[in-house]
Structure 1
Amino acid sequence: MRRLFVLISASLLALTACSPEKAKTTSPIDSSGPSQTQAPVTADAVPGPRVPKVDNAIDVTRFLQAPCDSLTADQIKTLLGAGVTPKTELDAPAGPSCSIHPPTVSDAGVVVMFSTVDKRGLTSIYQAQGTKYRFFMPMDAVDGYPAVAYGITDGRKTDGICQVAVGVSDQQTVDIAITQSKQNIGHKDPCEAAHGVAESVVGNLRGAR
């Protein structure tokens, strides 16, 4: 299970090394057209260029204190079998997290994490593609919320690892990291598995009162 924590912590904490550029102001529109000046564009504006906007933000405040509430007991049983005890870690380096792994398969597991690295949501991840994140793969939206698989490296085929971030607001993501058991590596895409877990998580977040 240690490698799963290393994956999610290393990927998200890499964002702290990405210092936003200084604020920039765009040049006026060509003088041959109407006299207009675009509004200033700041480096910390969200969403950033080409980053999908989240139209209906989800308030995840309660889950920052109870990240394991993001999956029900029945969902956890379906994912990893009976006898699984989720572990809450409120002081995890990248944000409050819930780690789940079956006691009989120590190399498999799921982590659900609410990032507190910054307040820039998917923008931080998009801006780090190709530099901090050599693996970057936009995925289908999760119940209307934009999602992307990403990592410092692509560990899908070699380690059965994938991390998917879902933008639940322009400032906040929830990350789902999957580590497959050795016998399942190469048989199913871990990113698709993480996406499936994300669907359950987002459904629970939206249904919370």
Structure 2
Amino acid sequence: MRRALTLAALGLCALAGCSSTTTGRASPSEQAGRPASSAPNSPAAEEVPGPGVPKVPSPLDATRLKQNPCESLTSAQITDLLGDNPRVKPEPHGAGGPGCGWFAQAQVAVVFPDINNLGLTSFYRAKDRIYRFFLALAPVDGYPAVAYGEDDNRASRGECDIAVGISDRETVVVSIRQSPAHQGEKDPCDSARDVAQKVLGNLRGGH
């Protein structure tokens, strides 16, 4: 029971921007925001993408889903991912940006970071300095993506946070935690990519 409560608290903090969690793991919203603390005062004036950061070929307009972040995934998609009746936690004014979390034995969160407008450049700048775990992933439907975190929690916790560039200045963050019964069956970052692919499809075509 305590473990389940800890996981639930972790998931809620992921969208609430908590400064810490009972597990000691920084939340996705907090992590997405950290590069901003070292960003220049006027990021809008900066050229993006920065050195070594892949360019987004076909920008997507995320306005609709930012206004209604729990529509990032359809009911059918959530049922397919988590089963029936997962707990839903909307955070339209989350500390790291508008987002939504869905919690069952496994957990999924989608956040649209609004800390700055440097897109994936913020995440690349935090590589090694803040994110000891940083892995460039194969593009998701043509959109550049990275997995990141203070630590690599894939094997130990079945967790992965990924950021996908939807324009040179915007990203969508997908965070997942696998259920204990299925940890080790699939790389959590592959699972996060699968979720991101669904979100991008919904961004492009609506529901």
Alignment partners' CA distance in 2, 1:13 and 1:54: 20
- Give the CA deviation at 1:154: 1.0
User: Secondary structure in 1 aligned to 2:174?
Assistant: strand
Q: Which amino acid aligns with 1:63?
A: L
Instruction: Tell whether 2:197 aligns with 1:205.
Output: no
Aligned residue number for residue 19 of structure 1: 39
User: Secondary structure in 2 aligned to 1:164?
Assistant: strand
Q: Which amino acid aligns with 2:47?
A: A
User: Secondary structure in 1 aligned to 2:147?
Assistant: strand
Aligned residue number for residue 117 of structure 2: 119
Distance 1:65 1:21, change over 3 A: closer
Q: How does 1:1-209 map to 2 (within 5 A)?
A: 1-4=8-11, 5=14, 6-20=26-40, 44-102=46-104, 105=105, 108-208=106-206
- Range 124-133 or range 42-51, more displaced: 42-51
User: Secondary structure in 1 aligned to 2:186?
Assistant: coil
- Give the CA deviation at 1:85: 4.4
- Give the CA deviation at 1:21: 9.2
User: Secondary structure in 2 aligned to 1:53?
Assistant: coil
User: Secondary structure in 1 aligned to 2:138?
Assistant: strand
Cα deviation digits, residues 105-125 of structure 1 (max 9, x gap): 3xx200001010110000000
Distance 1:2 1:53, change over 3 A: same
Distance 1:124 1:58, change over 3 A: same
Structure 1: which 5+ residue stretches go unaligned?
24-41
**Count of residues paired in the alignment:** 187
Cα deviation digits, residues 67-125 of structure 1 (max 9, x gap): 111111110000000112432111211100110012xx3xx200001010110000000
Alignment partners' CA distance in 1, 2:205 and 2:167: 16
Cα deviation digits, residues 141-178 of structure 1 (max 9, x gap): 11111111111111111111100111000010001000
Aligned residue number for residue 23 of structure 2: none
Given the two structures, how large is their TM-score scaled by the length of structure 1? 0.83
Alignment partners' CA distance in 1, 2:87 and 2:181: 22
Given the two structures, how large is their TM-score scaled by the length of structure 2? 0.84
Alignment partners' CA distance in 2, 1:45 and 1:200: 30
Rg bigger for which structure? 1
Runs of 4+, deviation exceeding 6 Å: none
Q: What RMSD in Å do the two structures reach over aligned CA positions?
A: 2.1
